[in-house]
Chain A
Amino acid sequence: MTFYLVRRVAIGIFLLLLMSAIFFTLTRVTPGAPVSVGENPRIHEEQVNRRLHSMGLTDPNGKPYSLPESYVRYLGALVQGNLGDSYQYNEPVRTLLMQRLPNSILLLGAALLVALVIGIPLGIYASTHQYSKADMTTSIVSYVGVSIPSFVLGIYLLLIFAVFLKQTPLHWGFPLFGMHTGGVDDPLDLLIHMVLPVTALAILQIAIFSRFMRASMLEVLHQDYIRTARAKGLAVERVNYKHALRNAILPIITLVAIAIPQIVNGAIITEGIFSWPGTGQLAFQAVVDRDYPVILGVVMLVAAGTVFFNLIADVLYAVADPRIRY
Chain B
Amino acid sequence: MAQVPPLPFGPAAGGLPGVPDQLSVETTVDQERAIAQPGVKSDELAGAPELGFWRLAVIRFFHHRVATGALLILAVIVLAAVVVPVITGGLYSIQDYRHPYKAPFQNWQHILGTDDLGRDELARLLRGARVSLMVGILAVVGYLLIGGGLGALAGYYGGWLDNALMRFTDIIISMPFLLVVIAVTAATGGVRLSTVIIVIAATGWFEIGRLMRAQFLVLREQEFVQAARALGASNTRIILRHILPNALAPIIVSATLGVSGIILLEAALGFLGYSIPPPEPSWGNMLSDFEQYLLSDHTYLVIFPATALVITALAINLVGDGIRDALDPRQR
User: A8-25: which residues lie under 8 A (CB-CB) from chain B?
Assistant: 15, 18-19, 23, 25
Query: Is the pair A147, B310 in contact by a Cβ cutoff of 8 Å?
Result: yes
Distance of A18 Cα from B272 Cα, bound (Å):
27
Distance of A299 Cα from B180 Cα, bound (Å):
8
A-B contact count (CB 8 A): 133
Decide yes or no: A268 and B176 within 8 Å by CB, A143-B317, A147-B260, A151-B268 being known contacts. Answer: yes
Query: Is the pair B272, A265 in contact by a Cβ cutoff of 8 Å?
Result: no
Of all chain A residues, which has the CB nearest B315?
A: A147
Q: Which range holds the interface residue count of chain B?
A: 35 or more
Does any Cβ of A come within 8 Å of B53's Cβ? no
Query: Is the pair B187, A30 in contact by a Cβ cutoff of 8 Å?
Result: yes
Query: Is the pair A269, B178 in contact by a Cβ cutoff of 8 Å?
Result: yes
Pick the interface stretch among B100-108, B234-242, B295-303. B295-303
Query: How far is the CB of A159 from the nearest CB of chain B, in Å?
Result: 6
Query: Is the pair A268, B179 in contact by a Cβ cutoff of 8 Å?
Result: yes
Does any Cβ of A come within 8 Å of B96's Cβ? no
The digit string for B1-16, where 1 denotes a CB below 8 A from any CB of A, is 1111111100001000
Does any Cβ of B come within 8 Å of A56's Cβ? no
Q: Which range holds the interface residue count of chain A?
A: 35 or more
Distance of A321 Cα from B80 Cα, bound (Å):
53
Pick the interface stretch among A45-53, A83-91, A98-106, A128-136. A128-136
Distance of A265 Cα from B176 Cα, bound (Å):
5
Of all chain B residues, which has the CB nearest A283?
A: B179
Does any Cβ of B come within 8 Å of A1's Cβ? no
Query: How far is the CB of B292 from the nearest CB of chain A, in Å?
Result: 12
Pick the interface stretch among B57-65, B167-175, B205-213. B167-175
Residues of B within 8 A of A31 (CB): 189
Q: Which of A29, A130, A152, A159 contacts B294 (CB 8 A)?
A: A159
Distance of A44 Cα from B4 Cα, bound (Å):
81
Query: Is the pair B317, A146 in contact by a Cβ cutoff of 8 Å?
Result: yes
Does any Cβ of A come within 8 Å of B314's Cβ? yes
Query: How far is the CB of B290 from the nearest CB of chain A, in Å?
Result: 5
Does any Cβ of B come within 8 Å of A96's Cβ? no
Residues of A within 8 A of B314 (CB): 143-144, 147
The digit string for B266-279, where 1 denotes a CB below 8 A from any CB of A, is 01100111100000
Query: How far is the CB of A97 from the nearest CB of chain B, in Å?
Result: 14
Query: How far is the CB of B71 from the nearest CB of chain A, in Å?
Result: 15
Distance of A302 Cα from B179 Cα, bound (Å):
10
Does any Cβ of B come within 8 Å of A39's Cβ? no
Query: Is the pair B2, A240 in contact by a Cβ cutoff of 8 Å?
Result: yes
Distance of A162 Cα from B302 Cα, bound (Å):
14
Distance of A62 Cα from B287 Cα, bound (Å):
43
Decide yes or no: A299 and B309 within 8 Å by CB, A31-B189, A222-B13, A290-B186 being known contacts. Answer: no
Interface of A is mostly: helix
Query: How far is the CB of B258 from the nearest CB of chain A, in Å?
Result: 13
Does any Cβ of B come within 8 Å of A298's Cβ? yes
The digit string for A296-323, where 1 denotes a CB below 8 A from any CB of B, is 0011001100110010000000000000
Does any Cβ of B come within 8 Å of A63's Cβ? no
Does any Cβ of B come within 8 Å of A27's Cβ? yes
Does any Cβ of A come within 8 Å of B184's Cβ? yes
Residues of B within 8 A of A132 (CB): 3
Query: Is the pair B174, A299 in contact by a Cβ cutoff of 8 Å?
Result: no
Query: Is the pair B2, A236 in contact by a Cβ cutoff of 8 Å?
Result: yes
Residues of B within 8 A of A303 (CB): 174-175
Residues of A within 8 A of B94 (CB): none
A-B contact pairs, 25 of them (CB 8 A): A26-B186, A30-B186, A130-B5, A143-B317, A146-B317, A147-B313, A152-B267, A155-B302, A159-B303, A163-B295, A224-B8, A268-B176, A269-B178, A269-B268, A269-B272, A283-B179, A295-B183, A298-B176, A298-B179, A299-B176, A303-B174, A303-B175, A306-B174, A307-B174, A310-B174
Query: 8 closest pairs, A vs B, by CB?
Result: A306-B174, A26-B187, A221-B5, A147-B314, A149-B264, A147-B313, A26-B183, A128-B2
Q: Apart from A147-B314, A222-B6, what are 5 other A-B pairs with CB-CB below 8 Å?
A: A26-B186, A151-B271, A222-B13, A265-B178, A283-B179
* A interface residues, Cβ below 8 angstroms from B: 15, 18-19, 23, 25-27, 29-31, 128-130, 132, 143-144, 146-149, 151-152, 155-156, 158-159, 162-163, 176, 218, 221-224, 226-227, 230, 236-237, 240, 261, 264-265, 268-269, 273, 283-284, 287-288, 290, 292, 295, 298-299, 302-303, 306-307, 310
